[in-house]
Amino acid sequence: MAYDVKTANRIKRMEGQLRGVLRMMEQGQSCKDVITQLSAVRSAVDRTIGVIVSENLLDCVTTADGDSEKMNSAIKEAMDLVVKSR
């Protein structure tokens, strides 16, 4: 599966947020502020997982060419990925 630039940018943004969290910890900022930022990163990860799974599912269903067995398999695999990410 090919990943688009927007997805890569999401990951880069999360990387920057995590570096910011480390900096906050090094500076001794409050637990509340650190947890708030970590929660934001977790939300971003969850949204990115959703984007990747949905794009993959669309790709798989599109290439199934009406083969219901292939489509069902793609849907099951996508749902397994969503469940695994929780």
Full pLDDT tens readout for the chain, 86 residues: 788 899 999 999 999 999 999 999 999 999 999 999 999 999 999 999 988 888 888 887 777 777 788 778 878 888 887 777 77
| pLDDT number for residue 13 | 96
| pLDDT number for residue 39 | 96
Domains of the chain listed by start with CATH number: 5-85 (1.20.58.1000)
| pLDDT number for residue 9 | 96
Is the Cβ–Cβ distance between 44 and 13 less than 8 Å?
yes
Is the Cβ–Cβ distance between 50 and 86 less than 8 Å?
no
| pLDDT number for residue 83 | 78
